[in-house]
Structure 1
Amino acid sequence: MLRYLPFLLVLALLIYAFIDCLNTPEEQVRGLPKVVWLIIILLFGEVLVGPILWLLVGKVRQTPATGSTPSEWHRNHTTTWVAPDDNPEFLKSLKEENKKDESLLKDWEADLRRREDELRRRERGEEPTAD
């Protein structure tokens, strides 16, 4: 099983580079047209030249607008996690969902009452009324 590992790693890198190239917008592709990069990735994928060239040279790597390196940006910008029961937007969405459920339930109950009344009238032999 271990002898297949290098082949699987090369295949995974080839697939990753190919999909990354496909999903990259044309304005972020450097040097060559996107189609040429795809051909290079496929032709030279077995020797890792195509995928590695794409990852190193072919795509514009975006850095934060502050001009700092990505690691500096992450050190300076921490995000705080908020539990769902402390998040006002989440609580608001729950209330809206409950209102929709209550409205649907009331509609079902009204329809059930109407059908039961209709069945009772039929059992008594009365003519059904048009609602």
Structure 2
Amino acid sequence: MTRALLILALVATAFWVFTIVDCAVQPPTRHRGVSKPVWILIVVLIPVLGGLLWLLVGRVRRSAIAARRAPDDDPEFLGSLGAITDQDERIRRLEEELAQLDAEDDDPRWAADAPGQAAPGTPKAASPDAPPDPPVRPADGDDERGQRGAVS
């Protein structure tokens, strides 16, 4: 009888050590339920029952982890191909709008050096929606109050 209890204690100790090590070396993505440190505490503080809980509840089997697939084998990827064509259509429309805006920029009415425009350096007539020109500071660096430097 003593011999059976000794063997049972030895097996329980080996199982306990095995589950502690197994729980500690598993990546956090393979833990279910609670976090890795909590599982380690459960396994250490409740020797045999904690180990059984770890193996039955906490550990995610390798076969349960989704294997990576090539894109043409992945149904989710194949289903998202319709969304990609929608994005391509939006990009095509935006490129057309940009091309139209570029064509407007090439319009001679908008060019600064177009014929009929004033030469550079001559004052131009202000349009009603144009912002006013900033005030001109005196050449010696003083502002209108006779102070030099930053205006506070």
TM-score by length of 2: 0.39
Structure with the largest fraction of helix: 1
TM-score by length of 1: 0.45
